[in-house]
Amino acid sequence: MKSDRIIVANWKMNPESPETARTIFLAIRRASEKLKRTRTVVCPPAIFFGNLAKLSTSKVQVGVQDVFWQNNGPHTGELGVSMVVASGGTHAIIGHSERRELGETSAMINKKVLAALREKITVILCIGEKERDNQGNYLGFVKDQISSALAGVQKRYVENLVIAYEPVWAIGKSEQEVMKGADMHEMLLYIRKIISEMLGRDYAESVPVLYGGSVSALNAEDIIGNGHADGLLVGRQSLDPVQFKEIMNIVDSAN
């Protein structure tokens, strides 16, 4: 399928049972069939990942919420990149703020990005400032996050790169506290400028830039239409099939 928009469901540490995970996934799969230009990627907890990957299609794919930089070996609790591929996974969220909060460093994120891209896994790299300040220091923060995460990435792997801009101050909040489309547009241009400086202008245009942080059916249209985001990364609302279907339809049809 030719898709120019992406919607990622980040289920985080939910739902509680494999049966519920399957039910939600099948509802999302049904909704995905009607979409014309949007690819959906569901990232369930690792323990449900293999079973759901067996149910994936070209329109709804399955990814992991984190990945390790080695394929195998003495790394208790980690998931190897080649294991993800062998189990039917196509995408990996890397550098989510909730993992950074647990101690994941920029150096670790860089190793994960390089390893995943080498295995042809599409990397959904999460970046975003913790807070905004009037001096614009947050822009430097975002730039550092992107340049450290992408250090050493070869241009031939860029087609497997997606950036998810997730300002930490907008994650897990109410839908009114979400970022406005116009602000997202400004950030999107800034992110493209950073990628352009690192990898060249052509690459900067081709890397999809998503927005994440308290997305709902109420704000999705503004972020896609006015923010010009190439898609969304959705947390809580991706566990509610009715709400998520609505968001999927908005992403697919917004101008």
Shortest Cβ distance from residue 137 to ligand PGA (Å)? 22
By the rule CB under 6 A, 99 interacts with ligand PGA: no
**Quick one: which of 22, 132, 236, 245 contacts ligand PGA (CB under 6 A)?**
236
**Quick one: which of 66, 119, 129, 166 contacts ligand PGA (CB under 6 A)?**
166
- Is 91 an annotated catalytic residue? no
Burial per residue of 91-127, b for 16 or more beta-carbon CB atoms within 10 angstroms, e otherwise: bbbbbbbbbbeeebeeebbbbbbbbbbebebbbbbbb
Shortest Cβ distance from residue 217 to ligand PGA (Å)? 12
**Quick one: which of 112, 214, 219, 224 contacts ligand PGA (CB under 6 A)?**
214
By the rule CB under 6 A, 232 interacts with ligand PGA: no
Shortest Cβ distance from residue 32 to ligand PGA (Å)? 19
By the rule CB under 6 A, 128 interacts with ligand PGA: no
**Quick one: which of 42, 150, 153, 234 contacts ligand PGA (CB under 6 A)?**
234
Question: Cβ–Cβ contacts within 10 Å for residue 25, how many?
Answer: 23
- Is 228 an annotated catalytic residue? no
Which residue lies nearest ligand PGA, judged by its C-beta? 235
Residue 149, C-beta contacts closer than 8 angstroms, at least 6 positions apart: 94, 95, 106, 109, 110, 113, 125, 127
By the rule CB under 6 A, 24 interacts with ligand PGA: no
> Are 92 and 122 in contact, with CB atoms under 8 Å apart?
yes
Of 98, 119, 129, 166, which residue is the catalytic one? 166
Of 80 and 128, CB closest to ligand PGA: 128
Of 13 and 47, CB closest to ligand PGA: 13
By the rule CB under 6 A, 64 interacts with ligand PGA: no
**Quick one: which of 3, 7, 10, 63 contacts ligand PGA (CB under 6 A)?**
10
By the rule CB under 6 A, 172 interacts with ligand PGA: yes
**Quick one: which of 63, 95, 213, 227 contacts ligand PGA (CB under 6 A)?**
213
By the rule CB under 6 A, 40 interacts with ligand PGA: no
Q: For binding to ligand PGA (CB under 6 A), which residues are involved?
A: 10, 166, 171-172, 212-215, 233-236
Give catalytic residue positions: 96, 166
